[in-house]
Amino acid sequence: METILVIDDELFMRRLCDDMLSLRGFKVVTAENAKEGLARLEKGGIDVVLLDIMMPDLTGIEFLPVVKKTDPDVFVIIITAYASLETAIDALKKGAYDYIRKPFRPHELYHSVDKAIGRRRIELENRRLLQDLQGKVKELSTLNRVGKYIHSPLEANRLLEKIVLSIAAVMGVEIVSIMLVEKETGELAIRASTGLPEEIVKTTHQRVGSGIAGWVAEKGEPLLIDDIEKDPRFHKLESDAKYKTKSLLSVPLVSRGGVLGVINVSRKTSGGTFTPHDLQLLTIFASQAAAGLENAELYDRLKGLSAAPEEKARLAAPELARRNSELERANAELRENYLNTLRSVVAALEARDESTRNHSERVTRLATLIGKEQGFSEKQLSALRVGGRLHDLGKVAVPDEILRSADKLTPEQRRIMESHPEVGTRIVESIPFLRGVKDIILQHQERYDGSGYPRKLKGDAILPEARVLAVADAYDAMISRRRYRNRAFSHREAVAELTRVAGTELDPNAVAAFCRLDPAAVEALYSGIAAAPAPPRERTGAREPLPAAPGTAAAPAPRDGDREDTVQCRCPKCQVAFRVRAGAIPTGGARIRCPRCGAGIPVHPAGGSAGRVAFVT
């Protein structure tokens, strides 16, 4: 239930808003002046503020910046009986979401509040998605760094120290310890830690099967404990009688030979409890740590051999091959998991608007078909698939009112929208295995003639994969229903438009490759993806004429080899340029249909002959 704060010096207005909004299920609190309203706002929990402009101590316009500074997430709706255009503009500039006049009808108030609540939910969800994404990127970068430690010839103690510090940093915890089973005693002892007193590190020994760490080592199973003090397996040390948090994670270090030890994590810096995701992340760290310990043991063993270097290499080769194979398999699974995470963020963004649902998946599949038609290598196709699915990742930082706007964007809104390739690039460039696709993401909005963004690259300076992606992106945008357009293009209309801009906005080779695709294959691709608008079933290419509108004839399309018998025309309505086969126009003239907007265009042979066509407006 959202909470609405009504700040108005009129008792009648406060009660009226309270009654109307309470009926809608909102919790309503009221204040009669700015001072009282600020005190209530500072307590937190307010979602929307209804703020009167004319108040005795401080006007609503003066108080508005204070509200936004106190809680930037609060949406403010200005209410006043003294409305003017200047006042409304001033309020919106200072952070108001909406502006309604007194007296207002119930539906006007409900509409404004519902819009504000909906927009606030979307913005908070977008922020959460961005934070989650940034956290995933940080996790992946750390895991890749730990993977490098494992492959380097580090001694076991040094390796464990690096892993402990990496876990503390990425998981946001104060205490991390790695306990290993000692071969001599069979007990667990702390080999590396952070956040623990030196005395505890030196003196702690735990039998396998005793306490939480001992239980994990014996069972070989991870544990997530919400409250340490309520778990009978936990034996609290006298020197640590006060715990900041009661939540704990304990995960076994498992190798092919059995359990090597345990990783323990406690005290989240946020003060919260651990989650299943935290447990999953620590389990991945534990898997890497176990592999690293095996490698370190092998390294120490090789150092102790007196054999020649060639003999050492021969003895170590089978074991190293096995372990490297296991690490490669684990890393492949890790890469796939994180790609799925990034794709889920993109899918969540696209799902907010029906017109863009599954857009990235459709574009990726179409771009792959075009890339194959152009003869891309498997390496290029692989990069194209990943880059295609993540090309709009940067839109996580673009506000919803811009993404979903049906109006022409302001210069500032366009600047924000055009930043999304760079934002997406920054997100993936810190992930080592995605660095090969970052330039595809960065360049997917570049145009062949240099008119794109963000770098104004031109021609061959743009990666071939990005040029192909631009064609697939443009096609999908045209045949999908969009807020800024009355209707979606048909397949033939979209092909005609792609052909028109080939060599200017789009790479002509990529467009030609698209036009060579069997329309049935394109249709099959789209029909297999949910929420995709299926192209019409007609089997046609770029050169086929459009169906004639009532009272018009289809524009006579040029045939291969008859370009000399054509004239370029331009539609006066949409300004698209196209060529018409002159010999097909009767002596008396005709009305043809524009291949882009469908407008009827009168034409007649120039000079009374059928050999040339003139445009009649």
What is the pLDDT, as a whole number, of residue 408? 80
**Residues across the chain:** 617
What is the SS3 string spanning 139-156? HHHHHHHHHHHHHCCCCH
- What pLDDT does 77 receive? 93
As beta bridge partners, residue 253 has 261
Q: Are strands 187-194 and 173-181 parallel, antiparallel or unpaired?
A: antiparallel
Which pLDDT value is given to residue 561?
A: 42
Helix (H, G, I), strand (E, B) or coil at 242: coil
Question: Which of these, 105, 134, 136, lies nearest to 280 by C-alpha position?
Answer: 136
Residue 138: name the closest of 172, 175, 173, 176 by CA.
172
45 by DSSP, 3-state: which? coil
Token pair recorded at residue 164:
């402990």
Spans in the chain with pLDDT lower than 50: 237-243, 306-307, 530-564, 606-617
What are the backbone dihedrals phi and psi of residue 398, each rounded to the nearest 5 degrees, phi first?
A: -100, 125
What is the pLDDT at residue 240? Answer: 47
* Domains of the chain: residue spans and CATH: 3-123 (3.40.50.2300), 152-304 (3.30.450.40), 353-527 (1.10.3210.10), 553-615 (no CATH)
What's the Cα-to-Cα distance from 153 to each of 148, 149, 299, rounded to whole Å?
10, 8, 7
Contact 437, 428 (CB under 8 A): yes
Q: Is residue 594 a contact partner of residue 555, using CB atoms and an 8 Å limit?
A: yes
Instruction: Dump the DSSP string for 323-354.
Output: HHHHHHHHHHHHHHHHHHHHHHHHHHHHTTSG
pLDDT value of residue 579: 65
User: Which residues does 20 contact at the CB level (< 8 Å), separation at least 6?
Assistant: 106, 109, 110
